[in-house]
Amino acid sequence: MSNLQVSIYRYNPETDSAPYMQEFQVDTKGRDLMVLDVLHMMKEQDNGLAFRRSCREGVCGSDGMNMNGKNGLACITPLSDVIKGNKLTLRPLPGLPVIRDMVVDMGLFYKQYERIQPYLQNDEPAPAIERLQSPEDRDKLDGLYECILCACCSTSCPSFWWNPDKFVGPAGLLQSYRFLADSRDNATEQRLSELEDPFSVFRCRGIMNCVAVCPKGLNPTRAIGKIRDMLLADAT
């Protein structure tokens, strides 16, 4: 049986009063395709199906979506990882407004990213060559800088669903810690002072959905814990 049954979320604001699930039959010829390949085959059946994609190798973060209940990147998720009983259900990332079909409005997500000032700050004059950094200090950025802004983590986080305007969310906080941990950045105090309200960081309840879904294997919960420690140390 190589016909895969796919149920996918459809919504076109120009023609649909409400979203609905549409059924597709896709002939995979028994191959263990990536979910993105299946989407392309569906788009050949229905040209109007809208989804984002770019690198198709898991580094650009365009095709984050919810596959059989779990967020991930369609391009690096093989069917064998997600299908249950030959059925695949595809929905847009949860918690963000849908523009069309699988395409969500990422505005709130990006806003929280911008809020943490995601750039190196160092007010000392730069040397004529690079700033030096020991390999040990550079190692502290591993597991942080690799984030691809796919939003799989933040849109699987109940705290972010509840307060997307006030809780920075796992992706933004991971990036916040990426700069706090950088030996070349000297805006630590100012960065922390902008996070010490009850929502920005402290809405994290340690549910760890972010860790479970990150397609790059990163650990936002750990980074949030480190920020918490820094905030608490600062307060005492």
Partner 1 sequence: MSNLRSLTYDAIIIGGGGSGLRAALELAKSGKKTAVLSKVFPTRSHTVSAQGGITCAIASSDPDDDWRWHMYDTVKGGDYIADQDAAEYMCSEGPKAVFELEHMGLPFSRFDNGRIYQRPFGGQSKNFGEGGQAARTCAAADRTGHALLHTLYQNNLKNNTTFLNEWYAVDLVKNSDGDVVGCIAMCIETGEVVQVKSKATVLATGGAGRIYASTTNALINTGDGIGMALRAGFPMQDMEMWQFHPTGIYGAGTLVTEGCRGEGGYLINKDGERFMERYAPNAKDLAGRDVVARSMVMEIIEGRGCGEKGDHVFLKLDHLGEDVLGKRLPGIVELSKTFAHVDPAKDPIPVVPTCHYMMGGIPTNVHGQAIMQDESGNDQIVNGLYACGEAACVSVHGANRLGGNSLLDLVVFGRAAGMFIESALNEGIEYLDASESDIEFAMKRMSRWNESEGGETVPALKAELQEIMQNSFGVFREEKNMQEGVQKLADLRSRIDNAYLPDKSNAFNTARVEALELDNLMEVAEATAIAALERKESRGAHSRYDFPDRDDVNWLKHSMYYPATKELKKRDVNFKPKTVDTFEPKVRTY
Please report, as ranges, the residues that interact with partner 1 according to CB under 8 A.
12-15, 43-44, 47-48, 50-62, 76, 78, 99-101, 103, 106, 110, 114, 117-120, 122, 126, 128-135, 138, 141, 145-146, 148-149, 179, 182, 184-185
Q: How far is the CB of 111 from partner 1 (least distance, A)?
A: 11
Of the two residues 146 and 194, which places its CB atom closer to partner 1 in the complex?
146
d(CA 180, CA 194): 13
d(CA 234, CA 236): 6
Paired tokens of 222: 């750990």
Q: How far is the CB of 142 from partner 1 (least distance, A)?
A: 8
Of the two residues 61 and 95, which places its CB atom closer to partner 1 in the complex?
61
Of the two residues 17 and 47, which places its CB atom closer to partner 1 in the complex?
47
- Neighbouring C-beta atoms of residue 162, cutoff 10 Å: 11
Q: How far is the CB of 159 from partner 1 (least distance, A)?
A: 24
Of the two residues 94 and 118, which places its CB atom closer to partner 1 in the complex?
118
Q: How far is the CB of 198 from partner 1 (least distance, A)?
A: 26
Lookup result for tokens 């040397």: 127
d(CA 35, CA 142): 28
Of the two residues 133 and 163, which places its CB atom closer to partner 1 in the complex?
133
Q: How far is the CB of 32 from partner 1 (least distance, A)?
A: 9
Q: How far is the CB of 234 from partner 1 (least distance, A)?
A: 23
Paired tokens of 218: 């990163």
d(CA 152, CA 157): 9
Q: Which helix (H) or strand (E) holds 171?
A: helix 169-180
Angle at CA 185, nearest 5°, toward 183 and 186?
110
Paired tokens of 55: 């690198």
Of the two residues 86 and 122, which places its CB atom closer to partner 1 in the complex?
122
CB 9 within 8 A of CB 24: no
